Amino acid sequence: KEVMLLPKGTKEEAAKFELRRGARRVPDYEKVWKGCQFNFEYLGAEEGARRSKVDDAREAGTAEEALALGGRWRISNEKTGGDQAYVNRFRHEPDGSTFSGEVEGWTSITEGRLDGKIISWKNGEFTCKGRVEDKGRTIVDLRVTVTRTGSDVGIFE
């Protein structure tokens, strides 16, 4: 980004833009050492400064890495032997606060949200809410309720 703004570009001006590779954000601290194709997105001064600050904290090790939850998630209750499992496919942009997807062979995932480490979504008549752990590799304390009544269907630990 800084090369794009040469010869008089500043770090603040570079922060107004986001570098993307394959629809994924490239953090400011990631160095590009060989020729690649990238896309640029204009963020503006305020959002660019916010993301740049997060990148600086991640590079310094004082902030957690971005969660990337996109992919296939198998949800089962191990306490009952895991015999009934549901496979969810999440479409989630790393560091994003929303996602979509589907439960394989059944229904769409709607209203997918990630608030810090709390994850929630709806599928059909059910609402799911849990906590993301292990750097985004595990969902724990997943509670499934009937959306219209709020009654528990199951708790997956």
- Model pTM score: 0.68
Mean pLDDT for all residues in the chain: 86
pLDDT tens per residue, range 29-62: 888 888 888 888 899 999 999 988 988 998 888 9
- Over 80: is that where the pLDDT of 134 sits? yes
**Average pLDDT over every residue of 81-100:** 85
Please count the CA atoms within 13 angstroms of the CA of 66 that sit on its side-chain side: 18
Going 74 to 72 to 105 to 24, the CA torsion angle's sign is positive
Q: What pairing do the DSSP bridges indicate for beta strands 85-92 and 17-21?
A: unpaired
Measure the CA–CA gap between 113 and 43, rounded to whole angstroms: 22
- Over 80: is that where the pLDDT of 156 sits? no
Measure the CA–CA gap between 44 and 114, rounded to whole angstroms: 24
Q: Give the Cα-Cα-Cα angle 27, 32, 37 (nearest 5 degrees).
A: 90
Measure the CA–CA gap between 144 and 128, rounded to whole angstroms: 5
**DSSP state, residue 27:** P
- Over 90: is that where the pLDDT of 121 sits? yes
pLDDT for residue 146: 92
Strand order across the beta sheet in which 126-133 lies: 71-76, 85-92, 98-103, 107-115, 118-123, 126-133, 138-146, 152-156
Q: What pairing do the DSSP bridges indicate for beta strands 85-92 and 118-123?
A: unpaired
